[in-house]
Amino acid sequence: MAVRLTFYDGVGTIGGNKILLEDLEQATNVFLDFGTSFGKRGLYFEEYLKPRSVAGLLDPLEMELLPPLRGIYRDDLVVTPQVWDRVAASPLGRELSVNGVLLSHAHVDHSGYISFLRPDIPIFASTMTALIARAMQDSSPADFEREVAYLSQRELTGDLLRSGRSARQRPFVWLDAASIPPELRAFWYKNPAKTKGWDPGPPLAATDRVGGLHVRSWPVDHSIFGAAAYAVETSSGWIVYTGDLRLHGTQGELTRQFAEEARALEPKLLLCEGTRARREECITEEMVRDEALAVAARAPGLLIGDFGPRNVERLLTFLEVARATKRRLAVTLKDAYLLEAMHLANPTVPTVNDTEDMFIYNERKGTVAGWEEELRQRCANKVSTASQVHEDPRGFLLCLSFFDINELIDIDPSEGVYIYSSSEAYDEEQEIDMKRLKCWLEHFHLRFVGEEHGNLHASGHASGPELLELARIIEPEMLVPIHTEWPDYFASGLEGTGIRVRVVGLGESLAF
């Protein structure tokens, strides 16, 4: 029993992956992702009822959003040592030190709660994932649940934690960058808040070892750039972790290549995502492009494309649609900033300045953050205002979402189409938002076009039959379904293949 896996989160549910791999022989402990569990968080909290940052670790530990593991969390978030008494009382409570987190990609349900981890724990990630995490944090309001790339040191005043005077970069280990080009280094090491002190941390080092263990990683296709799958060579054999993936995206071949190479390791265990385990349909990005093009070609007036945040593949699809229909693509400041950061890791990602028909839509904002000011200056000739869009609605395809919808008051369109190119509402709150969105569109004479009107969204996850195909290729001795509400799908689907399927519950451990 040299190796133990403990599933602190990410089983029986979608997202929130926090899987601990302990190799007792090699004295190495590694987390596979450390994400925010939106399901669990949503049981207690919502937009206006949040864990209190002034109470630090107390709220997320008490409400079981974090596993009760003493030794892995930030010391500056301990408001009272008694917080550990609560941890000690939990059956899962224990002392632990970890050698690193293998971060699969920058979606918050995989990365978010890295925010609470000690700042000396290395985060292994692709260069792209690190840069997306950094851009997301730079361009969002301060939030102690979103301190993935760097953290704002807290200081105790009385019994309240306040934001301190310094910030600190987390040590990211970039798996795919042997050397770091100067522009990328400049972006990564830049102080995000000029008014604070800044510790950029130790120099970056690429390595394929975490603690005493050999790690391999592969780029895979998902609805965010930079996604990786991992394999760790433990004392009991290779353990393979899929992260989130699919076969039907434009980079689907990468996922297939990962599966073939993982097979060659003859893995002991495969931790396999199963978000869409029971779903068979498979809409591709090409189908989305064709459908969006057909809608856009007939659209009168203004055209708006609404898609998931950071889904740059979809943004590129809409760039094609804009070009084909002779419109300018106008993106938010936040998207323009993200594109610039991603361009540093992958020069094929377009930026506003390098792309003739891409513009920044100038949102009406009272306070302008430093990064926004600098970006506006860099792209001074590429900014479109609401009145320009109002004057020439047929000249624009705007990339906006529900949370930017009040811009319509300034744009004041008289007709147009709103293409909703995202997953359908999956909870009550989203359904209410969808109703609100439709009221806004009705008020401004825009027609809503969504999935019910055709293939306007391609999922980031493989369908059930594709997941089984991947499992058969990789052919592990044992498969543990993760990131799914339908773990039993794998047991029936893999019957007769010789692959043993083991369904585990929350907090359960597997030793081998």
Candidates 26-34, 107-115, 133-141, 370-378 — which segment interacts with Zn ion by CB under 5 A?
107-115
C-alpha torsion sign, points 33, 34, 36, 40: positive
Does position 107 interact with Zn ion (CB under 5 A)? The reply is: yes
Q: With residue 307 as reference, give the H or E element that holds it.
A: strand 302-307
- CB neighbours of residue 411 within 10 Å: 21
- Of 10 and 393, the one with the shorter C-beta distance to Zn ion is 10
Compute the half-sphere exposure of residue 108: CA atoms within 13 Å on the CB side of its CA.
15
Site string for Zn ion, 199-238 (x = CB under 5 A): ----------------------------------------
Q: Which stretch binds Zn ion (CB under 5 A): 95-103, 104-112, 403-411, 499-507?
A: 104-112
CB of 322 to Zn ion, least distance (A): 26
For 39, 336, 429, the CA distances from 46, given in Å and listed in that order, are 11, 28, 10
Q: How many residues bind Zn ion (CB under 5 A)?
A: 2
Q: Are 494 and 287 in contact (CB under 8 A)?
A: no
| Integer Cα distance of 44 and 74 in angstroms | 23
CB of 9 to Zn ion, least distance (A): 15
Q: How far is the CB of 106 from Zn ion (least distance, A)?
A: 8
Is 182 in contact with 189 (CB distance < 8 Å)? no
Q: How far is the CB of 107 from Zn ion (least distance, A)?
A: 4
Residue range at the interface with Zn ion (CB under 5 A); choices 106-114, 191-199, 209-217, 282-290? 106-114
Nearer to Zn ion, 244 or 335 (CB): 244
Pick 327 or 483: Cβ nearer Zn ion: 483
Alpha-carbon span 75 to 84, nearest angstrom: 12
- Dihedral of CA 79/85/88/90: which sign? negative
Residue 310 near Zn ion by CB under 5 A = no
Shortest reach from residue 227's CB to Zn ion, in Å: 7
Task: For Zn ion, give the closer residue by CB, 10 or 171.
Answer: 10
For residues 510 and 4, the answer to whether their CB atoms sit within 8 Å is yes
Minimum CB–partner distance for residue 400 and Zn ion (Å): 22
Q: To the nearest whole angstrom, how small is the minimum distance from the Cβ of residue 15 to Zn ion?
A: 8
In angstroms, rounded to a whole number, what is the distance separating the alpha carbons of residues 208 and 393? 51
Q: Are 4 and 477 in contact (CB under 8 A)?
A: no
DSSP H helices in 142-239: 182-189
Q: What sign does the CA torsion over 393, 398, 401, 403 have?
A: negative
**Nearer of residues 107 and 382 to Zn ion, judged by Cβ:** 107
Q: Which residue has the tokens 């513009």?
A: 359
Restricted to residues 126-155, the positions that interact with Zn ion (CB under 5 A) are: none
CB of 244 to Zn ion, least distance (A): 4
Nearer to Zn ion, 74 or 246 (CB): 246
Which string of x and - marks every residue 239-278 that binds Zn ion (by CB under 5 A)?
Answer: -----x----------------------------------
The Cα 237–Cα 235 span in angstroms is 6
User: Looking at beta carbons only, is 64 or 244 nearer to Zn ion?
Assistant: 244
CB of 26 to Zn ion, least distance (A): 29
State how far the Cα of 346 lies from the Cα of 312, in Å rounded to an integer.
Answer: 12
Instruction: Choose between 33 and 306: whose C-beta lies nearer to Zn ion.
Output: 33
Q: Which residues bind Zn ion (CB under 5 A)?
A: 107, 244
